[in-house]
């Protein structure tokens, strides 16, 4: 034997489960409030599954519960509560009781008398040993203190763990090398001793001469039997060394875990043991009839404690939990991700969408959707419903533009508004819509702009020029900042400028318009810049105005979509809005994006171009016969909104051109070259009544 | 489908038998958490060392390095007696704890598996993010193969603890179990035909099926989420 055979123990690592902090938070809010009295806790340890894992002391949501035994001891003054839940120690685990000291402020936490609290806990262990309480309840040998500061507002917790071990006068020495349990006893003995009986936390082994099995004696069973046994086996001679054991959370090959420390003090104080063999029991298993265990046996020389033993402890103790650097410092846990409702909502929303990807469509590009910035021009029924549907798809950036206010007739149809938005003061629609989105999902980035879109034929008086110019610039800026523009306004004229601006800035525009029982959803595809001639990829598509000028000759002719929009079947807006959103999602999934060629329903039977199916150009739906038609039209070379003539004119003259159009819309037909056409059927009436602009 | 009474009874049987079969320390055992006289749930947790998941967990390291708790506490405040009996270790542990709860769902009338995880460092505990947890589950590989029987996972509030947690969604459980039990019956019937046995035995089989509902379900679910069923347990069930 070498000279230095000091036995070294592996410390506990605390594992405070997240559920404990949740429980502490709710207790603090509902029960404890500002009370900072010590609170009894219960934790447990179990056998460590591998050498790489620390021995963990586990504190969980049920840490505040008392065991049946504990509650019976306090029964004298407690009311008869049958419904109480008791702390149950899990299978193959062992109880470690403790005390929580929670402080209300960081300052209190800092100022708390930590050293004294630790000493008090140590003294309690000592007096429980000396006064005989441990004899009946061996769990009193291990006790922890937990000092916390719960910053509930920020979901942050600071904590310090202490698991006091009383120090003997001198360190405990090993008089023989550590041996494996398998080296120490034969297999049959081990099997019959440890596999057929439940193993208590602390025990001693009786009998076992030759190959007989041992009898496991629980310390708590009979004090008289214990006293008799240890009187005869005090380790003073080679042949009367007692064999004790404990359930060991450590799994290292030559070191025991922390619960042995106070147990040895107990043996010294209570039974004056000189030498002892200790079975560090770590479970025994049978694998194809071979015994497997990493339990070890220690042979220890125990020091004597000089002088009178009194219940007053005057020795030293150790056992603060330390950080990586061996410093005693509070640990920190932030549970914002599991407690902050905002973060939780975001996580859940994302996860639900991912579900769709995992389950149905692995190629779903949720990131592209999430990153898409949407500008919603118009915050009426269409704007509200489109926004809700975009949000369902995980779109996080939505900007509303509208100039009107929420009126009493709006909330029933316009799904983001409520009665409160109309009174006591009518809120701006775009502002109310953005607020509503944030109420529904706080992580959404919803913004609001209040202005009306300049319209052709709505002449601008001189003194208004600067204002209209500012509005125009604002609109162009917004279009540049967003990836997709939804055109959801209520009048035909208000759609002209955004159509032109999107065309000039190469932005995808999705336009939705309602009739009484029919709707139109059309995407204005991205076109290449004018300088860049005929593109090799993708396809140019007609815009709302192209289509209108050369409108399909059908029954809609005498009731254009816009004219009817204040009186529409209420379900129509939801249908059109949903289609407008789904059209965007499909387009985003097409490799050519906004330049995806138009597909019609016949393409469904070919191989679809996106995982979601076809990407149509425009959809016209008729509630009267419940039908939706995917249609397609080419750009019209003389279109008054998107033709090269107009775009060139705009690029050259900028706002001045816009201003001229505002003052005299007939310029448009001139510039677009329609006037040169001899076709008398093509007429455009820009001077629509303005009666519709207050609603929808 | 399983009644609450059956769930409680089968949980009790499963727990007892399972825990009897757990011998070695790397097998997990279940505990029953009692809520009130007729409700409760099964729970267990698994500790393991994180070996090669540095990529997934790296952001946690960053949080730890920031050490934003240093200002709240003077590190030199507590000085402990130096003790040569304490084992010095330079090993910094990187432990992951995954918790599993099996809770009865009254509307679907099936058992539901809930799971949650956290990451233990020397000075902090971090809840595992969804991506971290997902990458640890064999289910994530199952899903790549697009097997139709893989269950949905959703984030929900733990029905009892109120903590955010993940659940294997119960919507497919019943279909799955019906197929399993049907299959079992078919096999039994074929065997019966071979043995030219009576209908009497069939009835017994049905009883057996319901009796083993929880275990049958768990044998399907467990490989997806890394729960190892002790071999002894299956032997024991098939013997009875």
Q: Which residue of B has its CA nearest to A7?
A: B85
Compute, in degrees rounded to 10, the torsion defined by CA atoms A306, A308, A314, A316.
30
Distance CA A62, CA B90 (A): 32
* Secondary structure class of A217 (helix, strand, coil): strand
Q: Which residue of B has its CA nearest to A261?
A: B85
Query: Same domain for A164 and A177?
Result: no
* A335 chain-B contacts, CB cut-off 8 A: 127
Nearest to residue A163, comparing CAs of A249, A86, A89?
Answer: A249
pLDDT of residue A532: 54
The pLDDT-based confidence of A121 (bands split at 50, 70, 90) is very high
For A324, the closest of B70, B87, B122 (CB atoms) is: B122
DSSP-derived pairing of the beta strands A202-207 and A373-377: unpaired
Q: Is residue B130 part of a domain?
A: yes
Query: Same domain for A484 and A543?
Result: yes
Most A CBs within 10 Å, among B72, B79, B153, B233, to test the A interface: B72
Q: Is residue B144 part of a domain?
A: yes
pLDDT of residue B26: 64
Q: Is residue B86 part of a domain?
A: no
Query: Same domain for A23 and A128?
Result: yes
Q: Is residue A635 part of a domain?
A: yes
Residue B38 CB-density burial (10 A; 0-12 exposed, 13-18 middle, 19+ buried): exposed
Compute, in degrees rounded to 10, the torsion defined by CA atoms A442, A443, A445, A451.
-10
The pLDDT-based confidence of B73 (bands split at 50, 70, 90) is low
B212 vs chain A: nearest CA distance in angstroms? 22
Higher pLDDT, B200 or A404: A404
Q: Which 8-state DSSP code applies to residue A373? A: E
Q: Is residue B82 part of a domain?
A: no
Q: Which 8-state DSSP code applies to residue A10? A: B
The pLDDT-based confidence of A355 (bands split at 50, 70, 90) is confident
Query: Of A79-93, A505-519, A537-551, B187-201, which range is least confident?
Result: B187-201
pLDDT of residue B207: 53
pLDDT of residue A549: 47
pLDDT of residue A556: 37
Q: How many domains does chain A have?
A: 3
Q: Which residue of A has its CA nearest to B143?
A: A358
Are residues B85 and A172, on separate chains, in Cβ contact within 8 Å?
A: yes
Q: Is residue B68 part of a domain?
A: no
pLDDT exceeding 70 applies to what percent of chain A?
Answer: 90
Q: What does A478-525 look like in DSSP terms, one character per residue?
A: HHHH-SEEEE--SSTGGGHHHHHHHHHHT-EEEEEEE-SSEEEEEEE-
pLDDT of residue B199: 47
Q: Which residue of A has its CA nearest to B88?
A: A10
B50 vs chain A: nearest CA distance in angstroms? 10
Nearest to residue A201, comparing CAs of A284, A277, A141?
Answer: A141
Are residues A158 and B72, on separate chains, in Cβ contact within 8 Å?
A: yes
pLDDT of residue A558: 46
Query: Of A75-79, A290-294, B101-105, B154-158, which range is least confident?
Result: A75-79
For A22, the closest of B69, B123, B162 (CB atoms) is: B162
Cα angle for residues B2, A360, A571 (degrees, 5° grid): 95
* A318 chain-B contacts, CB cut-off 8 A: 80-81, 83, 86
Residue A34 CB-density burial (10 A; 0-12 exposed, 13-18 middle, 19+ buried): exposed
pLDDT of residue A695: 37
Query: Same domain for A57 and A146?
Result: yes
Q: Is 60 exceeded by the pLDDT of residue A686?
A: no
Compute, in degrees rounded to 10, the torsion defined by CA atoms A127, A130, A133, A138.
100
Higher pLDDT, A678 or A609: A609
Q: Is residue B147 part of a domain?
A: yes
B113 vs chain A: nearest CA distance in angstroms? 17
Distance CA A595, CA B33 (A): 59
pLDDT of residue B56: 42
A565 is a catalytic site residue: yes
For A355, the closest of B31, B35, B152 (CB atoms) is: B152
For A49, the closest of B47, B86, B153 (CB atoms) is: B47
Known catalytic residues of B? 171
Q: How many CA atoms lie within 13 Å of A400's alpha carbon, on the beta-carbon side? A: 34
By the 8 A CB rule, do A645 and A652 touch? no
Nearest to residue A509, comparing CAs of A660, A692, A669, A641?
Answer: A641
The pLDDT-based confidence of A684 (bands split at 50, 70, 90) is low
By the 8 A CB rule, do A320 and A331 touch? no
Looking at residues A252-267, what average pLDDT do you find? 94
> What is the interface size between A and B, counted as CB pairs within 8 Å?
190
Q: Is 60 exceeded by the pLDDT of residue A260?
A: yes
Higher pLDDT, A73 or B54: A73
Distance CA A294, CA A284 (A): 8
Looking at residues A379-395, what average pLDDT do you find? 95
Residues spanned by the domain of A583: 366-395+457-672
Query: Same domain for A530 and A597?
Result: yes
Query: Same domain for A228 and A180?
Result: yes
Residues spanned by the domain of B196: 4-63+91-239
pLDDT of residue A99: 95
Are residues A9 and B36, on separate chains, in Cβ contact within 8 Å?
A: no
Q: Who's near A574: CB < 8 A, 6+ residues apart?
A: A385, A415
* A284 chain-B contacts, CB cut-off 8 A: 23
Which residues sit opposite A630 in a β-bridge? A619
The pLDDT-based confidence of A197 (bands split at 50, 70, 90) is confident
The pLDDT-based confidence of A205 (bands split at 50, 70, 90) is very high
Q: Who's near B158: CB < 8 A, 6+ residues apart?
A: A19, B101, B114, B116, B164, B165
Which residues sit opposite A405 in a β-bridge? A428
pLDDT of residue B195: 56
The encoded tokens of residue A9 equal 């123990």
Query: Same domain for A120 and A218?
Result: no
> Which secondary-structure segment (H or E) carries A366?
helix A366-371
For residue A436, how far is the Cα from the chain centroid?
Answer: 22
Query: Same domain for A143 and A279?
Result: no
pLDDT of residue B200: 47
For B155, the closest of A18, A284, A347 (CB atoms) is: A347
Q: Which of A253, A286, A317 corresponds to the end of one domain?
A: A317
Higher pLDDT, A258 or B133: A258
Q: Is residue A622 part of a domain?
A: yes
Query: Same domain for A377 and A516?
Result: yes
Looking at residues A488-500, what average pLDDT do you find? 89
Looking at residues A579-587, what average pLDDT do you find? 96
Q: How many domains does chain B have?
A: 1
Looking at residues A202-209, what average pLDDT do you find? 87
Q: Is 80 exceeded by the pLDDT of residue A384?
A: yes
Are residues B95 and A286, on separate chains, in Cβ contact within 8 Å?
A: no
pLDDT digits (tens, 9 = 90+) for A554-564: 333 344 444 44
pLDDT of residue A179: 92
Q: Which residue of B has its CA nearest to A360?
A: B146
pLDDT digits (tens, 9 = 90+) for B16-35: 888 877 766 567 788 888 88
Which residues sit opposite B165 in a β-bridge? B156
By the 8 A CB rule, do B96 and B117 touch? yes
**CB neighbours of residue A529 within 10 Å:** 12
pLDDT digits (tens, 9 = 90+) for A5-44: 899 999 998 999 888 998 898 888 887 777 788 999 999 9
Looking at residues A441-470, what average pLDDT do you find? 91
For A324, the closest of B19, B34, B123 (CB atoms) is: B123
Q: What is the mean pLDDT of chain A?
A: 85
Query: Same domain for A528 and A386?
Result: yes
User: Which one is catalytic: A250, A389, A543, A565?
Assistant: A565
Query: Same domain for A160 and A195?
Result: no
The encoded tokens of residue A644 equal 């090269």
pLDDT exceeding 90 applies to what percent of chain B?
Answer: 12
**CATH code for the domain of B123:** 3.30.1460.50
Are residues A195 and B30, on separate chains, in Cβ contact within 8 Å?
A: no
Query: Of A57-61, A580-584, B52-56, which range is least confident?
Result: B52-56
* B50 chain-A contacts, CB cut-off 8 A: none
Compute, in degrees rounded to 10, the torsion defined by CA atoms A311, A312, A316, A322.
80
Q: How many CA atoms lie within 13 Å of A233's alpha carbon, on the beta-carbon side? A: 19
A348 vs chain B: nearest CA distance in angstroms? 6
Q: Is residue B74 part of a domain?
A: no
Q: Which 8-state DSSP code applies to residue A643? A: S
**CATH code for the domain of A218:** 3.40.140.100
* A300 chain-B contacts, CB cut-off 8 A: none
Q: Is 50 exceeded by the pLDDT of residue B205?
A: no
The interface pTM score, or ipTM, of the predicted complex is 0.82
Are residues B69 and A91, on separate chains, in Cβ contact within 8 Å?
A: no
Q: Is residue A462 part of a domain?
A: yes
The pLDDT-based confidence of A529 (bands split at 50, 70, 90) is low
Q: Is residue B76 part of a domain?
A: no
The encoded tokens of residue A358 equal 């995992």
Looking at residues A60-69, what average pLDDT do you find? 89
pLDDT digits (tens, 9 = 90+) for A230-239: 999 988 888 8
Query: Same domain for A297 and A389?
Result: no
The encoded tokens of residue A214 equal 């041992």
B49 vs chain A: nearest CA distance in angstroms? 7
Contacts by residues A402-410 (CB-CB < 8 Å, ≥ 24 positions apart): A402/A378, A402/A428, A402/A429, A402/A430, A402/A433, A402/A450, A403/A450, A403/A451, A403/A452, A404/A428, A404/A429, A404/A693, A404/A694, A405/A429, A406/A432, A407/A694, A407/A695, A409/A695, A410/A380, A410/A695
Are residues B125 and A22, on separate chains, in Cβ contact within 8 Å?
A: no
A54 vs chain B: nearest CA distance in angstroms? 7
**CATH code for the domain of A653:** 3.40.50.720
Q: Is residue A343 part of a domain?
A: no
The pLDDT-based confidence of A553 (bands split at 50, 70, 90) is very low
Query: Of A411-420, A439-448, B1-10, B72-81, which range is least confident?
Result: B72-81
pLDDT digits (tens, 9 = 90+) for A598-653: 887 666 666 777 888 889 999 999 999 999 988 888 888 888 888 889 999 999 99
């Amino acid at each position: 034997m070498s000279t230095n055979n000091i036995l070294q123990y592996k410390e506990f690592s605390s594992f405070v489960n997240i559920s404990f902090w949740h429980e502490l938070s709710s207790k603090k809010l509902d029960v404890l409030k500002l009370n900072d009295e010590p609170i009894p806790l219960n934790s447990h340890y179990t056998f460590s599954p591998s050498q790489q894992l620390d021995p963990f002391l586990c504190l969980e949501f049920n840490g505040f519960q008392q065991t049946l035994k504990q509650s019976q001891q306090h029964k004298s003054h407690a009311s008869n509560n049958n419904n109480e839940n008791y702390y149950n120690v899990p299978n193959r685990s062992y109880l470690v009781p403790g005390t929580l000291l929670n402080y209300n402020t960081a300052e209190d936490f800092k100022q708390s008398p930590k050293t004294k609290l630790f000493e008090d806990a140590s003294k309690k262990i000592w007096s429980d040993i000396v006064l005989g309480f441990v004899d009946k309840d061996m769990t009193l040998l291990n006790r922890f203190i937990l000092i916390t500061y719960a910053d509930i507002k920020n979901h942050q917790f600071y904590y310090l763990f202490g698991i006091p071990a009383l120090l003997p006068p001198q360190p405990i020495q090993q008089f023989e090398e550590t041996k494996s349990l398998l080296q120490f006893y034969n297999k049959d003995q081990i099997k019959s001793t440890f596999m057929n009986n439940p193993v208590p936390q602390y025990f001693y082994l009786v009998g076992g001469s030759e190959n007989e099995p041992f009898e496991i004696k629980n310390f708590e069973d009979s004090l008289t039997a214990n006293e008799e046994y240890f009187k005869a086996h005090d380790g003073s001679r080679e042949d009367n060394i007692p064999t004790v054991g404990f359930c060991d959370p450590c799994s290292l090959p030559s070191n025991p875990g922390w619960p042995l420390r106070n147990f040895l003090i107990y043996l010294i104080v209570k039974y004056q043991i000189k030498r002892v063999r200790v079975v560090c029991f770590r479970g025994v298993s049978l694998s194809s009839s071979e015994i497997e265990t990493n339990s070890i046996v220690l042979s220890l020389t125990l020091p004597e404690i000089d002088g009178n033993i009194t219940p007053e402890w005057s020795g030293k103790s150790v056992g603060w939990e330390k950080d990586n650097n061996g410093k005693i410092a509070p640990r920190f846990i932030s549970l914002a991700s599991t407690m902050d409702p905002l973060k939780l909502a975001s996580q859940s929303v994302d996860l639900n969408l991912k579900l769709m990807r995992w389950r149905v469509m692995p190629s779903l590009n949720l990131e592209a959707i999430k990153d898409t910035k949407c500008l919603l021009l118009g915050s009426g029924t269409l704007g509200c419903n489109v926004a809700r549907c975009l949000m369902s798809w995980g779109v996080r950036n939505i900007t509303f533009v509208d100039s009107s206010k929420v009126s009493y007739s709006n909330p029933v149809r316009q799904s983001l508004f409520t009665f409160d938005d109309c009174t006591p003061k009518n809120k701006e629609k775009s502002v109310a819509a953005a607020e509503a989105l944030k109420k529904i999902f706080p992580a959404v980035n919803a913004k609001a702009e209040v202005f009306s879109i300049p319209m052709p034929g709505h002449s601008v008086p001189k003194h208004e020029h600067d204002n209209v110019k500012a509005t125009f610039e604002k609109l162009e800026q917004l279009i540049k900042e967003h990836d997709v523009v939804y055109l959801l306004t209520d009048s035909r004229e208000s759609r002209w400028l955004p159509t032109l601006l999107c065309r000039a800035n190469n932005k995808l525009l999705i336009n939705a318009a309602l009739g009484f029982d029919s709707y139109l959803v059309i995407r204005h595809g991205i076109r290449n810049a004018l300088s860049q001639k005929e593109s090799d990829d993708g396809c140019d598509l007609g815009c709302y105005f192209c289509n209108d000028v050369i409108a399909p000759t059908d029954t809609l002719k005498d009731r254009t979509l816009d004219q009817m929009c204040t009186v529409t079947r209420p379900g129509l807006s939801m249908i059109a809005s949903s289609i407008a959103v789904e059209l965007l999602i499909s387009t985003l999934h097409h490799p050519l994006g906004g330049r995806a060629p138009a597909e019609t329903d016949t393409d469904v039977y070919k191989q679809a171009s996106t995982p979601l199916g076809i990407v149509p150009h425009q959809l016209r739906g008729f509630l009267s016969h419940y039908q939706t038609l995917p249609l397609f039209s080419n750009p019209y070379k003389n279109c008054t909104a998107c033709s090269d003539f107009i775009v060139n004119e705009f690029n050259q003259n900028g706002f001045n051109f816009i201003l001229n159009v505002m003052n005299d819309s007939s310029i448009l037909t001139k510039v677009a070259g329609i006037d040169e056409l001899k076709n008398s059927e093509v007429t455009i009436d820009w001077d629509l009544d303005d009666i519709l602009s207050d609603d929808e | 489908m399983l009644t609450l009474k059956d769930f409680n009874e089968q949980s009790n049987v499963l727990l007892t038998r399972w825990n009897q079969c757990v011998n070695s320390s790397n097998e997990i055992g279940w505990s029953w958490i009692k809520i009130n006289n007729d409700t409760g749930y099964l729970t267990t947790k698994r500790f393991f060392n994180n070996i090669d998941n540095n990529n997934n967990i790296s952001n946690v390291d960053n949080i730890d390095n920031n050490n934003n708790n240093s200002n709240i506490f003077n590190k030199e405040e507590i000085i402990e007696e130096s003790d040569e009996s304490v084992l010095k270790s330079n090993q910094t542990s990187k432990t992951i704890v995954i918790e599993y709860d099996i809770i009865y769902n009254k509307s679907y009338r099936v058992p539901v598996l809930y799971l949650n995880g956290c990451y233990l460092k020397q000075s902090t505990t971090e809840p595992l993010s969804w991506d971290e947890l997902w990458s640890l589950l064999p289910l994530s590989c199952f899903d790549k193969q697009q097997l139709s029987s893989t269950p949905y996972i959703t984030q929900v509030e733990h029905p009892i603890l109120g903590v955010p947690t993940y659940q294997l969604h119960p919507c497919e459980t019943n279909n799955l179990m019906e197929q399993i039990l049907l299959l079992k019956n078919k096999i039994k019937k074929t065997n019966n035909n071979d043995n030219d046995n009576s209908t009497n035995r069939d009835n017994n089989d049905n009883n057996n099926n319901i009796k083993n509902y929880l275990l049958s379900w768990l044998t399907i679910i467990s490989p997806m989420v890394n729960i190892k069923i002790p071999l002894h347990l299956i032997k024991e069930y098939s013997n009875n």
